[in-house]
Amino acid sequence: MPDLNLLITLDVLLTEGSVARAAQRLRLSPSAMSRALARLRETTGDPLLVRAGRGLVPTPRALALREQVGRLVQEAQAVLRPVQALEMGQVVRTFTLRASEEFVENLGPALLARIAREAPGVRLRFVNKTDKDYTLLREGGVDLVIGVVDPDASPEIVMQALFRDRLVGVVRAGHPLSRGAVTAQRFAQGRHVYVSRRGLDRGQIDEALEAQGLTRDISTIVAGFATAIALARDTDLIASVPERYTAHQREGLYSFVLPVSIPTFTVAMLWHPRQDADLAHRWLRSCLREVCAQQVQSPLP
Would you say residue 139 has pLDDT above 70? yes
pLDDT at site 190: 95
Looking from the CA of 187 toward its CB, the CA atoms found within 13 Å total 23
Cα Rg, the chain, nearest whole Å: 32
Tell me the residue ranges of DSSP E strands in the chain.
49-52, 55-58, 93-99, 122-128, 144-148, 158-165, 167-171, 191-195, 217-222, 238-242, 254-257, 265-271
> Which three-class secondary structure state does DSSP give residue 109?
helix
Would you say residue 99 has pLDDT above 80? yes
Cα dihedral: 141, 147, 150, 155 (round 10): 40
Average pLDDT, the chain: 87
Q: pLDDT tens digits, residue range 13-29?
A: 888 888 888 888 888 88
Q: Which domains does the chain have, with CATH numbers?
A: 5-80 (1.10.10.10), 88-165+266-295 (3.40.190.10), 167-263 (3.40.190.10)
Would you say residue 80 has pLDDT above 90? no
